[in-house]
Amino acid sequence: MALLVGGIGLVVTLLVSWTAWTLNRHNEHRLLEVQTRQAGAVIDSTILDLRDPLDTALQIATATGGNTAQFARFMSSSTGTGRLFVSASLWEASGSSLRPLSSLGSPSELPSSSSAAQAFIALSLRSKTFVVTDIQKDGLQRIGYAIADPKNPTFVVYAERAIPADRRVPVESDSAFADLNYATYLGPTTRPSDLATTDLPVNELPISGDTSKEVIPFGNATLTLVAAPRGELGGALGANLPWIFLVAGVVLTMATAAATEQLVRRGRLAEEDAQTIAGLYDRLDGLYAEQRSIAETLQRALLPQSNPSIPKLEIASRYLAGADGVDVGGDWYSLIPVNERRFAFAVGDVSGRGISAATVMARLRFTIRAYLVEGHPPDVVLAMCARQVDVGSDGHFATVLVGVADLESRQITLANAGHMNPLIVSGATSEYLVTPVGLPLGVTAGTYETTTVRLDPGSALVAYTDGLVERRSENIEVGLARLAQAVTAPCASLDDLLTTVVAQMAHNGAEDDIAVLAFRWTE
């Protein structure tokens, strides 16, 4: 009997561990795709930075009739050692004749007298966008750009940008590439000869393992971005969950098998039956409490370990797990410094419980944080995140409140996806801030409206999940009124206030988790 229980327990343990591993791999790949798209957006904006001076130089040449002095005056700020381009030139087209009028910077690696240069310049006169060519000579690589106005094909601006000989471009710690190994290729293929830039040594290419590809328009050509994670994008917890379940499952299976063997052996004696059963119940209660402790530990590991320190701002937060069940939940909060002047925050609640709810929560928390750090406003962040969750495929939806605040003006802009409205606390008074409530994330794609409010010095904003105010068989308006009264309690600090609020609002037997985030201007 013990062998049968042990066998079943091991099968269940392996199945749970494999499921956790599969979910983590799926989540990691989704996060990789999100970060690759973000990195592609950064490259796309860089391409605009390259094109803008060429467009402006072409407009100057057209407006001045090819005045070389005006052309040189404008392009000199972008051309030369350590600048955007290493060389630049202005060409004039007269019938089938093409000739350079002016040049700046180092000598071009595409000589004006060569047939290749003539053909490339002629190509730009027929193109609706700028044209690109890869120049490789004597171990050096440059990318050549040419742009002309097809409606007035008289002048062409040509420039070259240097690529490092080893193709390596370092990654900044705060960039969209910070968690990625990447390589970009000029064109749709990933042949070694098409390599443009990478953060890896060339002998470590092509990138292997779990990869994501993004194709980016690049003039008359394309750039292909291939990226792979440097580590676990969702954190070490997701990677370790299968091992946690495996070890815990083996221990639990061994304990259960041993308990079963003991029960069968002692079942022969009627006097010992009661003691054996009582002992098993005690052990099961302990295992249940241990599972609940593990669930709470996992949940807290998914939340911020500490709040950031921001000048002029007092910050406090609380998380309290629900009383029922041993599954991890989907409540979370985040507060993120965006720059020296602004910070952002989010409070959310994913429907349901369990690993799948925690996975959706981790994905949304990471994605919302990334979009806020990029500088997107709250309504745009929610609109983009609405496409990241689908209740039909994920089995969950989420309510989220997102805000961006200015430290100097104390002005806060908020957008709401089906979440509870926050409280504004000023001294002994409190008031719920009314926001346009949009659809929860995962229900359907949609748009969201913003609300802007300016807080007085010393005023606080309190955002929370519904577990704080909901009680079974009680109208939610009663809970909201209770919260509005609780936040006006006189306390020495914001942290003391949240301790008081949670103590007054929480009750024995509460089923839902509670997450609270509050901040107050100190001056």
CATH assignment, 308-521: 3.60.40.10
Query: 65-163 belongs to which CATH class?
Result: alpha beta
What number of CA atoms fall less than 13 Å from residue 206's CA on the CB side?
18
Query: What pLDDT does 45 receive?
Result: 83
Residue 38 pLDDT > 70, yes or no? Answer: yes
Which ranges of 65-131 would DSSP assign to H, the alpha helix?
A: 68-75, 115-126
Which ranges of 65-210 would DSSP assign to H, the alpha helix?
A: 68-75, 115-126
Domain ranges of the chain: 65-163, 308-521
Mean pLDDT in residue range 376-386: 94
For 122-172, write each residue's pLDDT tens digit: 899 889 899 999 888 777 788 999 999 988 889 999 999 988 877 777 665
146, 123 Cβ separation under 8 angstroms: yes
Distances (CA, A) of 114 to 98, 99, 118, 178: 11, 11, 6, 42
For the chain, how many helices (H) and strands (E)? Answer: 10, 20
Tokens of 327: 């599954």
CA distance 310 to 430: 24
403 contact partners, CB below 8 Å, separation of at least 6: 344, 345, 346, 378, 412, 413, 414, 415, 461, 463
CA distance 288 to 313: 41
Computed over every residue of the chain, the mean pLDDT equals 85
CA distance 482 to 480: 5
Among 70-79, 130-139, 464-473, 482-491, name the one with the lowest average pLDDT. Answer: 130-139
CA distance 183 to 190: 9
276, 267 Cβ separation under 8 angstroms: yes
For 261-278, write each residue's pLDDT tens digit: 776 677 666 566 556 555
Residue 284 pLDDT > 70, yes or no? Answer: no
The structure tokens 């590809």 sit at 213
Mean pLDDT in residue range 440-449: 88
Give the whole-number percent of the chain exceeding pLDDT 70: 88
- The pTM (predicted TM-score) of the whole model is 0.46
